[in-house]
A and B are shown apart, each in its own frame.
Chain A
């Protein structure tokens, strides 16, 4: 029996996509697989919400997309980070670190 999985917190999907693409460009299915692996099946990503998110990020100018040959030899739509996207990732990482730090602080405060 697999461990119970958490639905991904609201708003974090965009950040995760940016993080994955900061390493290398990937197509939608690739990103879905990476999300699966990285979260070690702890976090549940609804595959249906991946594509709207990708298109939203592309429209905001954080991602750029191009059709390229994939590892299977078929054409796939590869996404990669733009300069603005890289900047956005830094901003989100920073605010995430501060938020989780603050939450941790509150928990530690409470457990003492």
Chain B
């Protein structure tokens, strides 16, 4: 550390040393003169005995250490020589900055979404407890890893294994705090939540076990630090104030520690409330969630220091077995077949490490992100190869300089170190540029990401981790790109390099060809990837959602979140449905309970009654729609009829119910029979499901969760149960922009405080649902183009070099009667060999990587021969063109010119 510090104050040190030595000299000269030696003679003698130059050097070595001084001189020399060749410097810097910037940007997302541990006390001891096996209760509330609350309460007693157990669920509620109500994301958590995570308050207190002790106990909320800052400007008097959750008044008791954003990367909660207040959490159920077996929470636990996840899992087994047995005896346990019962009793609890918490975003994004990360890694490798190639070319030009230095006594390792300093300086400069570019790139990437939440949850700032990553990436890039030229410098014979003529010395043709071959291989891999993702995107866009999106608008309301009673909410939906249909701007309009193409869905098995009773083997997606839904969306009715007013009847009213299924459902489950008239019902397994809905129609397939979706679907009529939330679909006359205000006005007139969610065109919705595909296609496409460009430059460079070296040979051949064409062939043969080797190297890699990308593709396999051939042809054609330019020049050389060159 001291040497580095000294480097920055070296001029101060130098001045001190000068004064000190001057004092010594003057005193010594004075003493010698006093003893009778004449002054000039004394000065000469003193200078000789002290050896000023050597003393200075040795003292400087003490200050900076030898190694650092030499290295600093190397760096200065490198910097000066870079400034002398700006073209070379710009090309290498740009290559490295692009490579490092892209890698850093993707790494930032990988880090935030996949790798980053929660900012809590000892996150490595956190585990996720999940049900493994048949849990009987179908259709939980929430996304994934769902568990019932009673298990969480029981697990808290397993103190042998766990220091603490928490459960949490993410919720969407309307919050009124000093302003209009607005929908926010929040977390409903057990009283143990904050203490298990080891997160304290920034202000006031956090949620404590007492808040959660009894149903309805703590009407308290704890705000997140970010929300407190953004909404209340960090006002200290927030503690003790009232806030409305829906229509329920709650007390703000504190603000959680800064930097803590819940345990889910994808959802940033505005506040936390205790599970005792589940009734206010706007959950779509009337169950007693604290005691019923309904699954609605994720369970995280903190292991005791000496307990591994494996031991915890084994340790839970006997207790859980007893719990399962016991649960079958409880009242309300469904009647099930002996097989199901065995499967249920064979369930176990799975304990997996969860230092990063629980995140559905991670599950959906981790594969695309790793893919892109791998692609940027390849791109960075390519950039390094490019720089290595440029260095070798520069090495040729510097051959004489280096030869001279060797002849003057510089050691080979010294020269090698100089070249390494070159590449390190360049890499660090490239890294700095890359780090400057990275936040821009990250911002662009986040804009591509599918979920709206991603925009709040992910940050585009540079963290220390990220900078460390960029630094090491640059260092690795520098070493990688500088190593080959440095080794060459050490290995080349001194005599050789001095004997070579200027400009062509310092050969390395074979090394440069190897580099170009690798570049070809790398870029072919990226090109094939780009083609595959592009075909996936275009395939999905061509397929479309299965209905006509032009002039189609949709918006969603969630009246329950605004404190509506269920019956009122249902009436509101019906009222709006009628009013929108009557709007002059609406050509037709319809309503569905669940929005399509948003990724959400509701599914369950279906029980069918034909000549016998059968249950579907897979889950079927459900929706409930109003009459005219299919006509509004332009989905073809294949058989039977659409719903009409007769089908909508309130729950409990006797009479047959109706259902419409799609073609995929008929094809899979009712093939070869007339689907009309078949009785079906939601749910499977339990014997209390009675198929009582008659299939009255069959519609063409349309996308539900996303454009990719080709699922079996069943539609029930809307308005025959309590319809508490809905998405309205309106086919407008004329431009959709003109219809939007009238629709907004209509909702506002009914209830000015009801927020309209996701008011957008279906074109927009289709685009949004394809965001991951677009992200992959756009990024892999640009990576592929960049890679192609880099390798074409590489080929051009190496071919020009080869041609320069062979000009004389070609001249002689032409003089001896060879034709232009044969000269051209001679040069191009080299290029063809490199390209062929590159392709041969890439193909097995593509085959191996294919498995990784397959799940991201649509309508094309990862090893699709046409795609691979096309990519290889593009690459080969480009590479041949790049090689042709110098080759053409060589074949046009006149023999006399070529020989005169000597």
Contacts and interface: CB of A to CB of B under 8 A. Distances in A.
Chain B, interface residues (CB within 8 Å), range: 20 to 34
Interface stretch (B22-30, B630-638, B852-860): B22-30
Nearest to B3: A59
Interface stretch (B58-66, B268-276, B515-523): B58-66
Contact of B55 (A51, A59, A74, A76): A51
B49 interface: yes
Given A27-B23, A55-B62, A74-B23, A48 B16 contact: no
A13 interface: no
A5 to B, nearest CB: 13
B50 interface: yes
Given A51-B59, A52-B59, A52-B62, A59 B2 contact: yes
Interface string A3-44: 000000000000000000000000111001000000000000
B19 interface: yes
Interface in B4-60: 16-17, 19-21, 23-24, 26-28, 49-51, 54-55, 58-59
Given A29-B27, A56-B62, A77-B16, A51 B49 contact: no
Contact of B54 (A27, A48, A55, A75): A48
A72 B62 contact: no
- Which of A29, A56, A70, A76 counts the most chain B CB atoms within 10 A? A29
Contacts of B2: 59
A32 B24 contact: yes
B437 to A, nearest CB: 41
B59 A76 contact: no
A47 interface: yes
Given A29-B27, A47-B50, A52 B20 contact: no
Nearest to A56: B62
Contact of A55 (B49, B51, B59): B59
Contacts of A27: 20, 23
B23 A29 contact: yes
Given A47-B50, A59-B2, A52 B24 contact: no
A70 B62 CA distance: 26
Contacts of A48: 49-51, 54-55, 58
B45 to A, nearest CB: 11
A29 B28 contact: yes
A77 B17 CA distance: 9
Contact of B24 (A28, A49, A56, A59): A28
B61 A52 contact: yes
A28 B20 contact: yes
Interface residues of A, number: 18
Interface string A56-79: 100100000000001010111100
B48 to A, nearest CB: 10
- Which of A55, A56, A72, A74 counts the most chain B CB atoms within 10 A? A55
B54 A77 contact: no
B17 to A, nearest CB: 8
At the interface, is chain A mostly helix, strand, loop or mixed? helix
Given A32-B24, A47-B49, A59-B63, A52 B58 contact: yes
A28 to B, nearest CB: 5
Nearest to B6: A59
Contacts of B59: 51-52, 55
Nearest to B20: A77
A52 B659 CA distance: 96
B620 to A, nearest CB: 78
A76 B23 contact: yes
Contacts of B54: 48
A99 to B, nearest CB: 26
Nearest to B57: A52
Contacts of B26: 74
A72 B23 CA distance: 11
B4 to A, nearest CB: 13
Contact of B19 (A29, A47, A77): A77
A47 B50 CA distance: 5
Nearest to A51: B55
Contacts of B62: 52, 55-56, 59
Interface in A66-112: 70, 72, 74-77
Contacts of B58: 48-49, 51-52
B55 A52 contact: yes
Interface in B653-697: none
Contacts of A47: 24, 49-50
- Which of B17, B24, B26, B49 counts the most chain A CB atoms within 10 A? B24
B63 A51 contact: no
B6 to A, nearest CB: 8
A47 B23 CA distance: 14
B23 A28 contact: yes
A32 B28 CA distance: 10
Contacts of A59: 2, 62-63
A84 to B, nearest CB: 15
A56 B2 CA distance: 12
Contacts of A52: 55, 58-59, 61-62
B200 to A, nearest CB: 41
Nearest to B27: A29
A77 B55 contact: no
Given A52-B55, A59-B62, A77-B19, A72 B50 contact: no
Nearest to A48: B51
A28 B19 CA distance: 11
Given A51-B58, A59-B63, 6 more contacts: A29-B27, A29-B28, A48-B54, A51-B21, A55-B63, A72-B27
19 contacts: A27-B23, A28-B23, A29-B23, A32-B24, A47-B50, A48-B58, A51-B17, A51-B21, A51-B55, A51-B58, A51-B59, A52-B62, A56-B62, A59-B62, A70-B23, A75-B19, A77-B16, A77-B19, A77-B23
Interface of B: 2, 16-17, 19-21, 23-24, 26-28, 49-51, 54-55, 58-59, 61-63
The list of the 6 closest CB pairs from A to B, nearest first, reads A52-B58, A48-B51, A55-B62, A29-B27, A29-B24, A56-B62
